[in-house]
Chain A
Amino acid sequence: MRYLLIEDNPKLAGAVVERLQLDGHAVDHADTLAGADACIAVADYDLILLDIMLPDGDGRDFLERHRRAAKRTPVIVITARSAVSDRVGLLDLGADDYITKPFDFSELEARCRAVLRRQSGVAANQTSFAGTVLDSTKGEIVWDGQATALRNRELRLLEIFFNAPGQVFSKTHLMDRLFSFSDEASENAIEVYVGRLRKRLEGSGAALETVRGMGYRLVAR
């Protein structure tokens, strides 16, 4: 996915960009409203992450302009103020969601997903492997015209495998991707989720293979 991050704090922006890139997203960064306008003029983004306090204006003005121009790109506001009044004001101005600093990237990811899912008519975010299609937006896998719904963690786990078929992922890596820091999870949990996914994938062309001592990988049956 392609993100536009509008944030004036260079250290925070740098860290967020790096973190999003680690998940394989493309990120452009603007540190002013003017810069953001320039970015929007030349590129299409899947999602905009917007800080409210910027050196050349209020992020809310950008939000209003953005909505008036009838741009469809969803905007998630990143705010440092958790004042209840601010929150409602933001949603009224046309933000699709907001997240409070400091944020958990798994939560940010979840919110992005929810925002994209809510948007009607958005192009389906699909990856396919061995005749099996993973629809991230709808949260389902489809083969032979038959769809199976996935729960959130199952979907996120399967996304990791579908994005890099054949690559071996260690349990530790999968845990990092799957659980937020507030969760107390053991490596057994990964085994549980892999077990569930295997059940879901029964009958399809794809399978999760255990690589002894290494981890798991996605292979064609």
Chain B
Amino acid sequence: MKVQGSIRRRLFFQLGGIAALLSLAFFLTLRVVAENTAEATQDSILAASATAIADSLRSDNGSVSLELPYSALSMLGTVSEDRVFYHVVVSGNSLTGYADLPPPSAPPRPGSPVFDTYDYRGDEVRSVSVMRPVGSAAQSTNVVVTVAQTRLGLEATSQRITTTATGVGVGFFLLATALSLWAASSALAPIDRMTAAVTRRGPKDLRPVTAETPAELVPLVDALNSFMARLRTSLGRSEDFIAEAAHRVRTPLATVRTQAEVTHRKLNKPEHKKAIREMIRAIDESARSAGQMLDHAMVTFRADSLARDDLDLVVLMTETCDRLVPTADLKDIAIRTDFGNDPIPFQGDGILLQAALQNILDNAIKYSPEDSNISATIKVGETIRISFTDQGRGFGDTDMSRVTTRYQRGANVGDIVGSGLGLTIADEVARAHGGGIEISHNNEGIGACVCLYLPR
């Protein structure tokens, strides 16, 4: 699998990027609007001031006089330490004020003041020039009143606005980022839920996924379910195949084995008998392998959806031991049982547990010498421990952890027929029930002890 990127991270960064852009745009807009508003305010005050000065112009027989209304200037100097300059020009001649104040960039016309921005005496100033004809219609003189003000106050206002806009922008960005983090998580929550639903199941659970699925994931889940259905079918088919194969192999083997036994009985020469014995042992070996492979397939299959029947382990063990008494009898092996007097309830798959116990006991009988004992006990403590102790050859120097591995047999099996699946089957059944298998040396002398433990 190639892991490329993360939806969550991508979603988060994209939403975060969008939030950053929006915040920046918001910040810029806010600042422009605010500064324009502030400038417009200054402009209108300047215009009002210039108009007030123009209103105080008097014409007296062609000569224009001005009594400067200080209120006109004081309305400007309210806020900060901004300096105010003015200049009144009558027909091109300076009447009063700062004569070096630059003239307006364009000749103002009545009713439409001209605004300018320039540097004056070391500061940036904003100026407004209004034109007013003074005097009678016949003898009118054009008077231009220019009022200028430094922009320190405006800059402070602008600074304040920028600070506020920045604060608002950053706040907006942080909030949007947090929201996008939440949105990314909540958008991915269904995926997380489904991931949990799929990973929670065991490796052998092939039932369809039924978790709540968002519409976008339905095709994916459908594909997954159909894949699992195909896998299940294919598993089932291979199980049928194994069963069928075992049947096809076993019947002819049974014929051959029986005929071999008959022949063996009729033959007299020891070397002929020996040859037939070898043949029968080979048949037994293949039959046993076929049987255990089938059992193994069955165990694997049933462990998928483990039945939880109410069982009594004492009954189960009694049945298992009874079933193998004739086999043990053949070698004069006695199975001594000690299951206590009380039922031991357990929830599990009786068929699988019986197969497991049967495999362990069968193993014990196989590797036990004639005229020996096998003891079968159940002890209930923190776990339920079902133990089979024999007086056989034991496992020798075998690495105990390997005995339950498929097709691995003990180090000293000698020439005893076996497939190496018996304890594997028992181990898988025990694991499916939450338990396991422990193999140890018999504490009371020779032999081995195989213990299947189950949780209570």
Contact = CB atoms under 8 A, between A and B. Distances in A.
Interface of A: 9, 11-12, 15-16, 18-19, 22, 53, 78, 80-85, 87-88, 97, 100-107, 110-111, 113-114, 151-153, 172, 176, 180-184
B284 to A, nearest CB: 6
Given A80-B246, A81-B243, A180 B330 contact: yes
A151 B332 contact: yes
A84 to B, nearest CB: 4
A102 B283 contact: yes
Interface stretch (B20-28, B150-158, B254-262, B378-386): B254-262
Given A84-B352, A107-B327, A16 B258 contact: yes
Nearest to B327: A107
B422 to A, nearest CB: 13
The residue among A11, A12, A84 with the most chain B CB atoms within 10 A of its own CB is A84
B137 interface: no
B390 interface: no
Given A106-B330, A181-B284, A84 B298 contact: yes
B406 interface: no
A97 to B, nearest CB: 8
The residue among B255, B259, B299 with the most chain A CB atoms within 10 A of its own CB is B255
Nearest to B429: A84
Interface size class on chain B is 35 or more
Given A12-B258, A85-B298, A107-B326, 6 more contacts: A12-B255, A18-B262, A19-B265, A84-B295, A110-B330, A114-B329
Contact of B258 (A19, A106, A183): A19
B258 A181 contact: no
Contact of B251 (A9, A181, A184): A9
Nearest to B283: A102
Contacts of B352: 84
Given A19-B258, A100-B291, A103-B254, A84 B355 contact: yes
Contacts of B60: none
Interface residue SS majority, chain B = helix
A12 B354 contact: no
Interface in B49-83: none
A18 B417 CA distance: 27
B280 interface: yes
30 contacts: A12-B255, A15-B255, A15-B262, A53-B247, A82-B250, A82-B291, A83-B294, A84-B295, A84-B298, A84-B299, A84-B302, A97-B323, A100-B250, A100-B287, A102-B255, A102-B256, A102-B258, A105-B258, A105-B261, A110-B326, A114-B326, A114-B329, A153-B332, A172-B270, A176-B264, A176-B265, A181-B281, A182-B284, A182-B417, A183-B331
Contacts of A78: 254
B206 interface: no
B415 interface: yes
B353 to A, nearest CB: 10
Given A12-B254, A88-B350, A182-B281, A81 B246 contact: yes
